[in-house]
Structure 1
C-alpha cells in the first residue's frame, strides 16, 4: 500500500508514515488530516457528511480514508460532537436465542449508520437494578437504548430514561407508551391463532404452559389462547395450566406434570419454543409419539422449532426484523423525524408436531 503524500514532509511525518505502513499502528483522524493535507476539522466534516466541504477536497479525503481503512471510534466521535454514536440494549431475558436474534436485528438496523451496539444484561429483581441501568447509560454516554421484554415493561426504566433525557424504544406485546417509543408484537393475536388451530383439529383437553409471570407476553399469550377457546364454547381448565420459565428445563418439568394427569391432555401448548422442545422430551420419556399420541405446539418460531423432531407447529414472531425496526426508529430521532407507528402481526406456522387427536 502506498501512502498519500503532502508537500514538505517533516521527519516526524516520515516516521508516522513508516509506522502506518509497517502495520505497527492504525490510522487516526490526525493521520488522515496530515496525509490529505487538510485540517482535522475538515476530515470530521467529511466523516459526518457535512455539505460545507468542497467536492475536490471531499474526494481527496475519502480516498485517503479508503486507502488506510480508517474508521472513526464511536466513543471518541461522540465526545467530539457532544453526543454518542453508541446504542445500548438492556435486557433481562432467559431465552438465549431471543437475545441473539434481537442483537442481530439491531445490528442490521445500524449497518452503514455509524452507530455501534453495546449490551447490558441485567436482573430486574436486583436492588441496584435502576442504579446499574443509569450508570451503564451515563458511563457509555449512549445516544439511546433499545428495551426488549421484560425490561421494556418496567415503567421505572421508562421514567428513568425520560428523567435523564435518553432516547429509547420499547419492544412489547402491547402498547405501553407513545407511538414514537414503541414496537408492538401483538402476542395475543398469535396465541389466538394457535388456539383456533388446535380447536380446529378437534382438541378439547389441552394443557397450557405459561411463561414467567413477570413477562407481559406470558399473560397475553394465555389470554389469546383463552379467547380462542371461548369462541369455540370451551374453557381452559386451570388444572391443566402449569407455569414455566421460558426455558427448556421448565418445559420438560411442566410437560412431565401435564402428562402425569388423568385423563392426559391430547395437546400441549407451550408459551415458547424452548418449553415446547422440553415437552417433546417429556413425551419421549413417557413413551408417547408426537403427534400421533400428543400434539405439541410452541410460540416464537426460533431456530429450535425446526431443529427438533418433529418440527414444531408454532407462532412466528420475526424477532430479528423487530430489532431492525427498533434501531431504525431510534436512529431516526437523530434527524428529529417523528417516529412512525410500528407493529408486528404474528402468524401461525403449521409443521409436523400437530395433528387431530386419536379417536376415543
Structure 2
C-alpha cells in the first residue's frame, strides 16, 4: 500500500482512499455511509484500506456531500439536570455505531426568541434528525419548523401526539395512578400533590392519573392540598413548606418528579418530621439519586435512558432504510418502585 500521508504531512483524503482501493470516490462514500448498493467484495476492500490507514471521515464533510449533516440534535427545556443527562446518555446509546453524533440545544420555551433559536439551530446544523423530550416535544410550533426544514424527528411525550414512527409514548398517568393506589392502600387519607410547570403536559397527566388512582379507593384530591412546582429541588422545598404549615398537614405527598420529592424530604427534616413515620413521600422518574438519598425514595420509574435510546434508534432506522414505526417499542409503561420513604400513617 502507498503511504496515506500527502505531501507536507497532511492526512489522507477520501480521494486517496479511493485511489488506494482502486474504486471511485462515490463508492468510498457509499461504504462509509453503509449504503446497501455496494458489492460485498468491494466493501471489504475499501474497509480494509480505511482500517489500515486510519482514515476518519469528517462528519461535516460527509454531510456536505449529502446536503445534511450526520448530527442528531436533542432540543430540550427540562429544568432537571439529572433527567437531561440520562436522556443524553440514552440518545448516545441509540446512535452508537451508526456514524451519527449528538449535539444538544438547551432552550427556554418562555423566551420570546425560542422559535427563532430552534429554527436557527436546525438550519445551521443541517441536522440528520431531532430527538425532543418534554416539553419541547409537545410544542406543535416546533414540529412545524422541523417539517418546513424537512428534518426527521422523534417526540417523547406522556401521550401520543403523532404517528408511531415519530413517537415514544410514556403514559405518565398510569404511573401516577400507581402512586395513588400505593398511598391509599397504606391508609393515607390526607394526601397532597406537587405538580410540575403548567406548560408541561406531563404535569397534567401525572395529576390526572393521581386523581384517578385515589378515586379507585373512594378518595379525592382536595384543591387545598395541591401546589405547583417547577420540577426543581428548590420548588419542592417551597411547596412542601407551604403544605406542612397547614392546620391539618398531609400525611403523604406525591411530587411530580424526583427533584421536587427530594426537596420535600429536606422540608420535612427542617420541620423536625420523620420520613416515613410522620410523612410519606413519593416521587416520579426514578433518577439515580432516588436510591442514593436516605431514606431511599419510593418513586414511579420511567426508563429515561431507554426512552432516549428508543427515540434515537427510530432516527437511525431511517438511515438504514427501515420502518421506524416497527423497529422499536413505541410505548413505555411506568412502574412503581417501593422503597423506604413510604409507610402507613401513624394511628
Change (3 A) 1:147 1:49: closer
| 1:274-296 per-position Cα deviation (integer Å, ceiling 9, x unaligned) | 00101111111111111111111
Q: What SS does the aligned partner of 1:339 have?
A: helix
Alignment root-mean-square deviation, CA:
1.9
| 1:173-222 per-position Cα deviation (integer Å, ceiling 9, x unaligned) | 01112222111100000000000000000000012111111100001111
Q: So what's the TM-score if we normalise by structure 2?
A: 0.93
* Structure 1 alignment gaps of length 5 or more: 7-12, 20-24
Aligned position for 2:2: 5
Q: d(CA) in 2 for partners of 1:178 and 1:50?
A: 27
| Conservation of the 8 A alpha-carbon contact between 1:332 and 1:339 | no
Pick one of 50, 60, 65 that aligns with 1:65.
50
How far the C-alpha of 1:90 sits from its partner, in A, is 0.8
Q: d(CA) in 2 for partners of 1:298 and 1:168?
A: 30
1:313 aligns with 2:298: yes
| Conservation of the 8 A alpha-carbon contact between 2:233 and 2:263 | yes
Aligned position for 1:272: 257
How far the C-alpha of 1:18 sits from its partner, in A, is 7.7
* Structure 2 alignment gaps of length 5 or more: none
1:171 aligns with 2:156: yes
| Conservation of the 8 A alpha-carbon contact between 1:208 and 1:269 | yes
Q: What SS does the aligned partner of 1:299 have?
A: strand
Q: d(CA) in 2 for partners of 1:242 and 1:47?
A: 54
Larger radius of gyration: 1
Q: d(CA) in 2 for partners of 1:191 and 1:161?
A: 32
Q: d(CA) in 2 for partners of 1:89 and 1:245?
A: 21
Q: What SS does the aligned partner of 2:336 have?
A: strand
Q: d(CA) in 1 for partners of 2:157 and 2:34?
A: 35
Give the aligned length: 344
How far the C-alpha of 1:63 sits from its partner, in A, is 2.2
Pick one of 317, 327, 337 that aligns with 2:323.
337
Matches within 5 A, 1:108-257: 108-257=93-242
Change (3 A) 1:211 1:72: same
| Conservation of the 8 A alpha-carbon contact between 2:134 and 2:156 | yes
| Conservation of the 8 A alpha-carbon contact between 1:5 and 1:36 | no
Q: d(CA) in 2 for partners of 1:159 and 1:267?
A: 42
Aligned position for 2:6: 16
Q: d(CA) in 1 for partners of 2:235 and 2:91?
A: 29
| Conservation of the 8 A alpha-carbon contact between 1:333 and 1:339 | no
How far the C-alpha of 1:72 sits from its partner, in A, is 1.7
Q: d(CA) in 2 for partners of 1:324 and 1:333?
A: 15
